Amino acid sequence: MTRGAMPAARKAKARDSIEDAKDTAAERRRGQVPIFTLLRYRAPSEWLAVIVGSVAAFCSGGATPLFMYFFGRMTNSAYDDDAGPKVTRSFAMLMTCIGTLSMILVFIKTATYQVTATRLVGRIKCAYFAAVLNQDIGWHDRHKPGELISRLTGDTRVILNGVNDRFAGWIENLGTGVVGIVFAFISSWELTLLMMGSLPLIAVAVYFLSVASAHHVAVTRKQYAAASAIAQEVLHNIKTVQSFNREMHEVERFSETIVGSRKSGIKKEFLVAMAGGSVMGIMLCVIGLAFILAAYLVQSGRTGVGSVSASFLTVMYGAMGLGQVFPALMSFVEARTAAQPLFTAIDEQPVIDVNAPGREATFRRCIEVRDISFAYPSRPDQFIFRHLSATIRKGQKVAFSGATGCGKSTIISLLQRFYDPVEGAIYVDGHDLQDVDLRSWRSRIGIVSQEPNLFSGSVLDNIRTGRRSATFEEVVTACKQAQIHDTILTLPHGYDTNVGALGSQLSGGQKQRLAIARAVVRGADILLLDEATSALDRKSEVEVQQAIDDLTQNSQMTVITIAHRMATIRNMDCIFFLDGARDGGSSIVECGTYDELLHMNGRFASMVMMQDTATGNLCTVVHDTSFYLYASALDKSAGSSISYEGSGSSRDSWETSSRDFHEIEDRWSQCATVDDVPFEHRTDWEERRTRVSMWRIMKMTKSRWWAIALGFLGSIITAIVFPCVGLMVTQLINSLGSYRQTQDEKFMRQQITLYVILLIILGAAYFLGSVLTGFYGYAGEYLTCELRSMLFQQILRQDQTFFDMPRRDPGALATLLSGDCEAVHQLYGPTLGSRLKSVCALGGGIAIGIIMQWKVALVCLATMPLFVGSIVAQQVFFTDSEKVRESGIDTVVNEALASIRTVTSFSMQSWMVRRYKRIVNIAEQTAERRSVLISLLAGVTELTLMGSMALSFWYGGTLIEKGEAHFGNVLVAAMAITMGSTLAGAEAGSFATKLRDARQSSNRVFAVIDRVPAVDSYEYGKVIFEEQVGISLRNVSFAYPAREGVEVLKDVSLTFQGGSSNGLMGQTGCGKSTIVQILARFYPISSGEVLVNGRDLSSLDLVTWRDQVSIVLQEPSLFSGTIRDNIKYSLPDATEEEVMEAAKIACIHDDIMQMDNGYDTEVGYRGQQLSGGQKQRVAIARGVLRCPKLLLLDEATSALDNVTETRVQHNLDEFQRRFNVTTVAIAHRLTTIHHSDQIVLLDSGKIIERGTHAQLLAHDGEYKSRWELAQQ
C-alpha cells in the first residue's frame, strides 16, 4: 500500500473502533442517551434555575399531602362535640395558605422549566445541525437528508416535551409521593410500613414496562425517519412524480413505511397505560388491606383516628402522585430515546474533519495526483480510478475529458477532499493533502458544479456565499463577468430579489451563471468548472467563457475544467483524457494540448473526429423556404439607462418582525380570494382562513369508534375512581371515628370489611380503566397515520404554484407531515381522554358531594367558574396565532442538507449555523414570553382550585355550627370534590400548550388538505386517444406567480405539428423551459389558449394527458432504489426486455451491464451514486419506455459528452420517427436540434425566428449567427 493510503486506513480503523464502541454503549443504554448527556448544553445559570424550579416543583407536589397530614390530625378532635366548626374553619385557613404558596411554586416551576427547556432544545438543534454540516460527504452518502431533517424537527419536539414542565410534573408527582410517605410514617409507621411493602412490586413492574416502552419509542422514531426520507425525496422530485402520474404510488410507498411506526406507537401507548394503572391499582388494593390493620390499632388503643386519617390521606395522595410519576416520566424516557441518534451524530468524529488542525494551505507550485485508486465508500468493490496520476501546475488551465461516467467529476470531489483515495495520495506543493488544514485549502478553491445549488434569499446573499466579506461593487463586477448582471436588473427587486427555495424562481441558465459569479467573487487560487456552462446557450457560453479567460489571463489562477464541448477546452494548456481499463476503473491514457492530442491520433482524436462527424453533415444547406416564418426581432429600448443602488445587506423573509407582520397583515387579511393576496402572504392567508372543528377530526376516526368508546369508558372509570376513593376513605375514617364514640366493634368491622372490598374493587377498576385509555393511543396512532397519508396525498395533488409559495418547500412540508400531524394526534388522542377524565372526576366529585351535603357542594360548584375561567384564559392566550413564524428553520435546514456539497465546497457551515441560530433565537424569544404568561396563569389556576375548596370548608363549618350538617357529611362532600378537582386540575394543566399546538397544527395541515389547485388531477376532463398529438399555442402570455409583474412569455403563438420534431432555443431565461412546463401542465397560463388537436388543454383530463406525455428535465430526478426501478418509474408494468430496449435507446445499457449488480445497482438518494451523464441517460430511458405521444426534452443531453450525445440523439430521432412522437426539445447545443422539423428561436419571451435549419440559415438572421458561432 502506498504512503498516501496509510492515513485513510488508520482513520477507517479508528472510525470502525469508535462506531463499535458507540454501538456497544447504545446497546448498554438500550437506545437512550445518559441523562447528563441530554442536559449537557444547559448553561450554569440555567442549572441554577432548574434547581430552583425542581425545588419549587417538589414543594408544590408536597403541599397537598402536607395539608392532608394536618387535615387528618385535626379530624381526631372533629368528632368531639362542638369541635366541628372550629376544625373546618381551620381547614379553610390552612387550604388558603397552601393555595397561595402553591400558586407561587407552580409559577416558578413552570416558568423555569419552560424557559430552560426552550433554550436547551435550541442549543441541541444548533449542535446537531452544526455536527451534521461538518460531517464528511461519505457520511452524507449514507444518511438521507429526509432522515436528518426528521431528526431535527420531529425528534427535537419529543425532547422538548420531555424536558419542559412535563419533566417538572414528574418531580412534582414525586414530591407528592415522597412527602406523603414521609408524613405517613410520622403519623403511623406500622400502617405506612405495611403499605410501603407494595413499592418493590411497583418498581419491578414500572421498570420492565419502561424498558419495553423505550424500545418501541426508538423503533417508532426510526421507522418514521425512513418515511420522512421518502417524503423529502419525493417532494424534491415533485415534477417527475406528477409528470408520470405516480402520486398514488408514492403515497402508498409512504403509507406502507409509516405503518410500522404506527404499530410500535400503539404498543407504546398501551405499555404507558398499563404502567400508570399498575401503580395506582396496587396502591389502592394495599390501602384497602391496610385499613384492616388500622381498625386493629384503633381498637387496641395503639393509635388514634387522627393518626390513621393522616397516615391514610398522605399515603393515598402519595400513591396518586406515584401513580402519575410514570406517565410524566415517560415523556423524559421518550426524550432520551429520541435524543440518541442526535447525540450519536453530535459526538461522531468525521472521517474527514474540516476542523482538524493541519498545515496552512499554500499553492505556489503544483498539485500532484500520485498513483491514486478510488472507489466510493458506498460501493467499495467498484473502482472509479486505478493508478491515476497527473500534475497540475499553478497558473495552468487544464481540462479532464473522457466519456460519460469515466470519473471526471470524481476528480473534482477528490481535489476538494470530499473523499480520500483508497490508494495513493494527492500532494499540494509537496505536502500530502491529508496533512493540510482543510478549511484553509477549500478557501483557495472556487467551484461551479454541473447542477448548481442556490439558497433561499436574495441574489446578493447567494453570490456572497462565495465570500461573505465581498462588497456590493465586487458582487456587481463578478456578475458582469458571469454575464448575469443585466438579467438581475430586470428582476422585480434587482439584487434583492428572492431566488426561492433552492433557486426555484430562476431558470437553469440563470442559476448556473449566478453560481459562476459566486465562484468568481471568491477570488480563489483554483477555479473548478464541472460542466459550468452546460445550461447556457452557445452565445452565452462563449461570452461567459471569454469572461473566465479574461479573468484568468493575467492572473495566476489555476483553472480545472470538465466539459464535453470540445470548443470549451480547445485553448487549455493541458487536457487529460480518461478511459476505462479492463480491470475496472479509469486512468489517464493521454495528455497534452488540444493540438498535441489530435496529432497523437489516439482516443481523444477519435472522440473529436466522432463529434465532427456528427456535425459535419450540417454544412450542406438546402434553401427551402416553403415552411419559413420570420417574426421581427424584439424591439429593444435604445438609449435607455437602468440604474440600481444595492444595499450593503439584504434581509430574509424569516427576519420579519412581529410589528411588521401586523402592518402587512392588516392589508391582506380581509381579502376575499387568494388571487387578491400578495404571493408572499398567501400561505398565511390560507392558514388563517382554515378553521378545523373537533368534530371533523373525530369523523376521521369513525371506523374506530369502538376504540374511542373504550377509551371514553376507561376515562370515565379512572375519573370516577378518585372521588369514589375519597368517599371510601372518608367513610372508613368515619367508621373509626364512630367506634371512638360508640365502641361498637362489630359494626366497625362490618363497615371496614365493606369499604376495604370496595377499595380493592376500585383498584382493579382503575387498572382496567387505565388499560382501556390505551385505546386512545390506538385510535390516535391510526389518526396520525391516516392524517399523514391524507396530507401527503394532498401535497402531491397540488400544482407547481403551491410549491413556489412561502413555507411550501420540501423542508417545511416535511415538518407538516411529522410534527404538525403528531400535534393533532396529541390533542385528539390522549389529551381527549384527559379532558373527559377531568370532566368526569369533577362531575363525580360534585355528584357525591351533593348526595352527602348538597349545600357545601353547591357552594363549591358556584366557585368552579373561577377555576374553569383560569384554564380558559390559558387556552385563549395560546390559541392566538403566532405572528413570528418558525418556517425559516425548515427552509434553511432543507436547503443546507440538500445542497451539502455546495455548503462543504464553500465552507459555509459556520455561516449556515449562524443563520440557523438567528431563526432559532427569534423563536426562543417568542416562546419565553409565552412561557412566563402561561406560568402565571397556571399559578392562578392552582390558587382558584384551592380557594374554592377553602370556601367549601368554611361554609361547611358554618352549617355545622347551625346544626344543619354533620362533620362526617361535610368531610365526605369536601373530600370527594377536592379529590375530583385535584385530578381535574392536574389533567387540565397541560391543556393549554397542547391545545395551542394542536389547533395551529390543525389549521396548517388542513389548509393544505382543503386546498384545491388551479391545475387539478382530481378534476375529470375530456379524454383524447389519437395517433398523433398536435399542439397550438395562441397568444399565450405567462408570468410565474412568484413574479407576477414579470412576463416570461409575451403573446406567443406557435404550432407543433403531430409527429413532428421541434427545437426551442434562445438565451438563458427567454422562456423555453416555461413552454415545456406549460405543456406538462405544471402551471396554468395567464392568457391565451393552448390547443391539443383542436381541444383546449385546460379542458382535457389531466391524468390521461400526462399518460401520453414524457418529460426529461434539465436536472434529472432519480429516486432511491435500483436502476431498473427508476427506468420502470414511467411504466411499472414494463417487461425486462422493454426496460433494456429503453436503456439501449438512451445508450446506458452497456454502462449498466458493466456495473457489478447490473440493473439491480442502487442509484442512491436522488441518484447520487451515478454520474451526471448516467443520471441523464437513465432519465431518458425512463421517458422513452412508455412510448409517449409527446416527448418533452429540457436540455436532456447537456451532461453527455459529444460522442455519447450524438449516439443518444440518433436513437431518439429513430424513436421519434418510428412511433410518430411529437417532440419538443430544448437545447443550447444547436447540433442537438438542427435536424428538427421546426426550430424556434426565442428572446425575452417572444419568438423572433422559426423554421427549419436550412430555412433559418438562408434567412441570414440571429440563428445563422449562433450557428456560425457554434461551429467555431
Read off the pLDDT of residues 444-486 as tens digits, 9 standing for 90 and up.
888 888 777 888 788 898 898 888 888 999 999 888 888 788 8
Q: What is the band of 658 on the pLDDT scale with cuts at 50, 70, 90?
A: very low
308 within a domain of the structure (yes/no) = yes
Q: What is the band of 995 on the pLDDT scale with cuts at 50, 70, 90?
A: low
Give the model's pLDDT for residue 536: 64
Looking at the predicted structure, is the pLDDT value of residue 652 above 50? no
Asked whether the beta carbons of 210 and 92 are under 8 A apart, the reply is: no
* pLDDT over 90 percentage in the chain: 11
Give the model's pLDDT for residue 925: 80
Give the model's pLDDT for residue 195: 77
516 within a domain of the structure (yes/no) = no
Report the alpha-carbon angle 262-265-266, nearest 5: 90
Q: Residue 24's domain is classified under what CATH number?
A: 1.20.1560.10
390 within a domain of the structure (yes/no) = no
For the chain, helix (H) and strand (E) counts, in that order, are 47, 21
Give the model's pLDDT for residue 785: 86
Q: What is the band of 983 on the pLDDT scale with cuts at 50, 70, 90?
A: low
The answer on 155 and 83 residing in a single domain is yes
Q: What is the band of 828 on the pLDDT scale with cuts at 50, 70, 90?
A: low
Integer angstrom CA distances of residue 962 from 76, 737, 805, 955: 21, 22, 72, 11
The answer on 937 and 824 residing in a single domain is yes
Considering only 391-405, 812-826, 1116-1130, which range has the smallest mean pLDDT?
812-826
408 within a domain of the structure (yes/no) = no
Q: Which residue has the higher pLDDT, 359 or 734?
A: 359
The DSSP output letter for 700 is T
Q: Which residue has the higher pLDDT, 501 or 459?
A: 459
Q: What is the mean pLDDT of residues 921-944?
A: 79
Among the listed residues 422, 481, 416, the one whose alpha carbon sits nearest the alpha carbon of residue 447: 416
Q: Domain end: 1009, 1029, 1059, which one?
A: 1009
The answer on 1071 and 952 residing in a single domain is no
Give the model's pLDDT for residue 664: 42
Helix boundaries (H) for 348-392? none
Integer angstrom CA distances of residue 180 from 278, 324, 720, 779: 19, 14, 22, 36
Q: Which residue has the higher pLDDT, 1003 or 404?
A: 1003
Q: Which residues of 359-387 are buried (b: 16+ CB within 10 A; e: fewer)?
A: eebebeebbbbbbbbbbbbebeebbbbbb
Give the model's pLDDT for residue 875: 57
Q: What is the band of 530 on the pLDDT scale with cuts at 50, 70, 90?
A: confident
Give the model's pLDDT for residue 775: 87
The answer on 1019 and 1005 residing in a single domain is no
Q: Residue 1045's domain is classified under what CATH number?
A: 3.40.50.300
Looking at the predicted structure, is the pLDDT value of residue 1245 above 80? yes
Among the listed residues 1254, 673, 765, 722, the one whose alpha carbon sits nearest the alpha carbon of residue 1012: 673
1189 within a domain of the structure (yes/no) = no
Give the model's pLDDT for residue 613: 56
Q: What is the mean pLDDT of residues 151-173?
A: 81
Looking at the predicted structure, is the pLDDT value of residue 1033 above 90? yes
Burial class (CB in 10 A: 0-12, 13-18, 19+), 288: buried
Q: What is the band of 81 on the pLDDT scale with cuts at 50, 70, 90?
A: low
Q: Which residue has the higher pLDDT, 864 or 453?
A: 453
Give the model's pLDDT for residue 1019: 82
The DSSP output letter for 302 is S
Three-state secondary-structure class, residue 1113: coil
The answer on 1057 and 946 residing in a single domain is no
Q: Domain end: 1009, 1025, 1050, which one?
A: 1009
The answer on 941 and 906 residing in a single domain is yes
Q: What is the mean pLDDT of residues 68-96?
A: 69
Looking at the predicted structure, is the pLDDT value of residue 9 above 80? no
Helix boundaries (H) for 658-704? 658-668, 682-689, 694-699
The answer on 821 and 801 residing in a single domain is yes
The answer on 197 and 222 residing in a single domain is yes
753 within a domain of the structure (yes/no) = yes
Which of 69-78, 966-975, 1147-1156 is the most confident on average? 1147-1156
Torsion angle of C-alpha atoms 378, 384, 387, 392, degrees rounded to 10: -110
Distance CA 46, CA 109 (A): 13
Host domain of residue 1271: 1015-1108+1221-1272
In the chain, the number of structural domains is: 2
Q: What is the band of 634 on the pLDDT scale with cuts at 50, 70, 90?
A: very low
The answer on 816 and 944 residing in a single domain is yes
The answer on 1000 and 986 residing in a single domain is yes
Distance CA 922, CA 892 (A): 14
pLDDT tens profile 587-604: 888 889 888 888 888 888
Q: What is the band of 611 on the pLDDT scale with cuts at 50, 70, 90?
A: low
Asked whether the beta carbons of 484 and 513 are under 8 A apart, the reply is: yes
Give the DSSP per-residue string, 423-456. EEEEEETTEEGGGB-HHHHHTTEEEE-SS----S
Give the model's pLDDT for residue 835: 67
662 within a domain of the structure (yes/no) = no
pLDDT tens profile 254-301: 988 888 778 888 888 788 788 778 877 887 888 778 888 888 887 777
Question: What residues have CB less than 8 Å from 689, skipping those under 6 apart?
Answer: 1007
* Torsion angles phi and psi, residue 1063, rounded to 5: -120, 135
Q: What is the band of 833 on the pLDDT scale with cuts at 50, 70, 90?
A: low
Looking at the predicted structure, is the pLDDT value of residue 13 above 50? no
Q: What is the mean pLDDT of residues 72-82?
A: 60
In 3-state terms, the chain is what percent helix, strand and coil (to 5)? 65, 10, 25
The three cell numbers locating residue 1077: 412546463
The answer on 894 and 798 residing in a single domain is yes
Sign of CA dihedral 143, 144, 147, 148: positive
Q: Mean pLDDT across the chain, nearest whole number? A: 78
Looking at the predicted structure, is the pLDDT value of residue 29 above 60? no
Q: Which residue has the higher pLDDT, 719 or 1208?
A: 1208
Q: Which residue has the higher pLDDT, 651 or 119?
A: 119
Looking at the predicted structure, is the pLDDT value of residue 79 above 60? no
Q: Domain end: 979, 1009, 1039, which one?
A: 1009
196 within a domain of the structure (yes/no) = yes
Looking at the predicted structure, is the pLDDT value of residue 565 above 90? no
pLDDT tens profile 1090-1139: 999 989 998 999 999 999 999 998 778 888 889 999 999 999 999 999 99
The answer on 1030 and 935 residing in a single domain is no
Q: What is the mean pLDDT of residues 805-830?
A: 73
Distance CA 445, CA 1009 (A): 46
